[in-house]
Amino acid sequence: MNEWERALQSIAKPNKQLALYDRYGSMAYGVILQILPQPLQAQKVLVELFASSDLQGYLDGHSSIALAIVRMARTKALTAKAQTGESLMPSVSPGMTAKMNLPDLVFDMAFRQGYSIESIAEKLQLTKKEVLKAIRDYSVSLRQA
């Protein structure tokens, strides 16, 4: 690659990231806001996401750009939340799960808080199968809404 082509690529890269931001920015911001409800902090993570130099490399390895951006936004938001020292695990006693909407609680813990199926099952004193069923029930309810 000659110097002219490298110069053109360096000019095109910010434009490509800006185009990605224009197309997927609101979706990514929605994901980030679910994890970080403070708008200022969420906006900072959003800017970091689309200004990241490794964004294009991350997207190249995925078949769906939207899915890759959601994953990257979630990862960056969870990292930022962990850096604030805020407790990620909600304080839920096992008896409360009967009173609450279990699929919503399990999805929140899995997607928004980043906990594994095993740790959710342990915290809520459920079986792994019950946790997976709750996630499935949440997905079904989303599709019906």
How far, in Å, CA of 52 to CA of 56, rounded? 8
Percent of the chain residues past pLDDT 70, beyond the cut: 79
Please give the full DSSP string across 81-106, using - where no structure is assigned: HHHTT---S----GGGGGTS-HHHHH
Q: Which residues contact 39 (CB under 8 A, 6 or more apart)?
A: 33
Residue that the structure tokens 């969870």 belong to = 78
- Count other Cβ atoms within 10 Å, centred on residue 140: 11
pTM, 2 dp:
0.70
Number of other residues whose CB lies within 10 A of the CB of residue 86: 10
Average pLDDT over every residue of 54-73: 85
Asked whether the predicted pLDDT for residue 1 surpasses 70, the reply is: no
Percent of the chain with pLDDT over 90: 43
| Token pair listed for 45 | 């993570």
Average pLDDT over residues 53-64: 80
Nearest to 31 by CA among 85, 68, 82, 84: 68
pLDDT band at 79 (very low <50, low <70, confident <90, very high): very high
